[in-house]
Every structure is written in structure tokens, then in C-alpha cells.
Amino acid sequence: MNHKRKKIVLTGGGTAGHVIPHIALLPFLRQEKWDLVYLGSNGIERELIGKSGIKFKTIAAGKLRRYFSLKNFSDFFKVALGCIQSLFLLIWIKPNLVFSKGGFVSVPVTFAAWLLKIPVITHESDQTPGLANRIILRFAKKILYSFPETARHLPSDKAIYTGTPIRRELFTGDPGRGYKVCGFSEKSEKPIILVMGGSLGALKINQALKECIDTLIEDYRIVHITGKGKGIDFQHPDYQAFTFLGEELKDIFAITDFVIARAGANSIFEFLALHKPMLLIPLEAGSRGDQILNANSFAKEGWAKVLREKALSGENLLSEMTDLTKAAEQMKNKQRKLQLGNSSDTIIQILRSEV
């Protein structure tokens, strides 16, 4: 009988959104007793995965752009180098499967796996596939997706609806620690708003918040994840700003009543799983429009309200928060009807069938 441990190569990066689902799956992957190796660039994936104890191997990665840029020429050689490095690493690792979360670093890894006839499974978090996943789709045996609407953009013989894996630890937040981290009193009856951008913050949201914070703070307490170098000059006992939150985020979620945020797929599914009424302000400038589609999908289901970035101002932010407060209980009731707990199990079953 062959007792050799199965090996899976994980890949994905460029933004936290291409890495966090892997982190959410780690407890389930470890239960399977598989050997795990992560192939990524020196980007955010190295930082996030480095804390998990998984073996990490670095490859060159060139950014995939949908527009003309002179950097496309130099990045072509980075992609080519990444393919060569991936080939040698995969020959050395001998994985049974490559599981990709998209992002430009995944392209050379999945291409090399295809050349070596190693099965590839990829996952798309957004409603429409990004450029990397559209390329990877040619090499992948299956593509898993989060939004039901995504099915029409994918070949039916490869596509499987799984939803998005949610990090277990987000459900273990301690309200007492959350209040302590923020320096807030547990006795106050003012609800708490968590304001956050993507993994790098959101300058336009911060600016709009600054315009209306004197009024907003009269009725709410505010926890603000600003992003590096994007803070606002405001001091108040009911306002607490952080450049970034790591382990403490689950405790902050435990005391959060409302969320104002971008509409990255992983984040909004986490808010949904935690039953947080949310005001989504999707990224528009310089974006392919995926966040707008994500936000509109959630609004259609009654899980969120949407404020378009082009209409974003302090005045409109105040108005939308008033509406969100009135709709909060109805929104939470609709959120509770959706069961998101099975996504990770479904994905693991699919991976198990291929290793």
C-alpha cells in the first residue's frame, strides 16, 4: 500500500485578495495531512504566508496589464523567467496538484504545471474573471467561483460554484479585547462603525470621512483602518485609527455594528458571514469594474447598500449611513438566510478528488 503523503502547490498573489482564501483554507488543508508549498513573488503573499509556517518559494513575476505600457516589455521577460523557475521547482517538488487563487504570479506556475501534466484547479473570487484567471483557465482542469452570476462567463464543463472560503478565526473575536484595543468604553450605547479600504487603504473614503466626521461622531464610534500614510488629522475619544490590523481584526469585528468599505470579494463575503450591515463604496478609478459588480450583486440581494465612488462626498456618506442604520435589522435578517459555512468543505472535497 502506498502511504506517500500527497503534495499540493498553492499559488496566488499581487493583492491580499489572492492570498486570504488560501489562509482561510489552511486549517482544512492541514487536516488532510497534505504537504503544502507556496509559490509566489516577493509581494504581499510572502508576508502573509510567511506567518503561517508553510514552505515558501519565490519566483519572478511580471504584472499583467490590460493597457499599453513600456513595462509590459520588461515584465514579459519576468513572466518567462517565472515560467522557467516554476518548471524547475515543480519538477523538484513533484506535487499532485496546483491550486491557484489567481493574480499575475499564478500564470507562470499554472503554465508550468500544465506543461508537466500536473492538474490545476483555480478559484475566482470576483463576479467576473480577472485577466490572470482568464489566462489560467486554458491550463486549468476546473475553475471554482464565488458568485452565482460568474457561471455565464465560464465554460460549463470546468466551472463549479463553491462560494468563498471564510477565515475561521473571524468567528472567534472577543468583544472585551476589541473594546480594549480601541480604548472604547463597553458601557457606551453609541454603535460602532468600522471604516476600511482594501489592503492598502482607500484615500477617497478617508477624505469623505474627514469631511463629515464631526457630525458622524455625534451618533457613532468609529474604528478606522486608514492604510499606510493615508490617515486623517482627527482626535476624539470615540475615534480610533489604525494603519493596519492583523490578529486584532477578529476582535474589532466582534464589536462592529456597521461597515463602510470597498467591495473586494473576500472582504464582503466575510462581512456577510459575520452578518454586518455594510455600505460598499466600490473602487472605480483604474479598476476593471469588478468591485462595482460585486457591490451591485450584494445590493440586489439586500445584503448591502452601495455608494458609487463618483458620488462620494461627506454629505452623501452621512446620508447613506442614516439609511443604513434604518435598514440594518432587515439587512441582517437577509444575511442570516445564507449559509456560507460549507464553502471550505466543498473546495476541499474537490481538491481531494484530484490528488
Q: What is the pLDDT of residue 23?
A: 93
Residues 6+ apart with CB under 8 A from 6: 32, 34, 35, 96, 97, 355
Q: How many residues are listed for the chain in this entry?
A: 355
Q: What is the pLDDT of residues 264-293, one digit of tens each?
A: 999 999 999 999 999 999 998 766 788 999
For every residue of 251-286, DSSP letters joined together read HHHHH-SEEEE---HHHHHHHHHTT--EEE----TT
Q: What is the pLDDT of residues 4-59, one digit of tens each?
A: 789 999 999 888 888 999 999 999 999 999 999 999 998 888 888 988 889 999 99
Q: 72: how many CB neighbours lie within 10 A of its CB?
A: 14
Burial degree of 70 (CB within 10 A; 0-12, 13-18, 19+): exposed
Q: What is the pLDDT of residue 182?
A: 95
Q: Is the pLDDT of residue 329 over 60?
A: yes
**Domains present along the chain, CATH in parentheses:** 7-166+341-354 (3.40.50.2000), 169-336 (3.40.50.2000)
What's this model's pTM, rounded to 2 decimal places? 0.88
* Rounded Cα–Cα distance for residues 165 and 10 (Å): 15
What is the overall mean pLDDT for the chain?
Answer: 91
Q: What is the pLDDT of residue 338?
A: 80
Q: What is the pLDDT of residues 103-151, one digit of tens each?
A: 889 999 999 999 999 999 999 999 999 889 999 999 999 999 999 999 9
Q: How far is CA 4 from the centre of its chain?
A: 33
Q: What is the pLDDT of residues 41-54, one digit of tens each?
A: 988 888 889 888 89
Per-residue pLDDT band at 73 (split at 50, 70, 90): low
* Rounded Cα–Cα distance for residues 192 and 332 (Å): 16
Give me the residues paired with residue 161 across strands. Answer: 145
Q: What is the pLDDT of residue 4?
A: 77
Q: Is the pLDDT of residue 67 over 80?
A: no
Q: 247: how many CB neighbours lie within 10 A of its CB?
A: 10
Backbone angles phi, psi at 127, to 5 degrees: -70, -35
| Residue where the block lists cell 463602510 | 260
Q: 340: how many CB neighbours lie within 10 A of its CB?
A: 16
Q: Is the pLDDT of residue 236 over 90?
A: yes
| Residue where the block lists cell 470579494 | 265
Q: Is the pLDDT of residue 1 over 50?
A: no
In the chain, what is the straight-line distance between the N-terminal and C-terminal CA atoms, in Å? 16
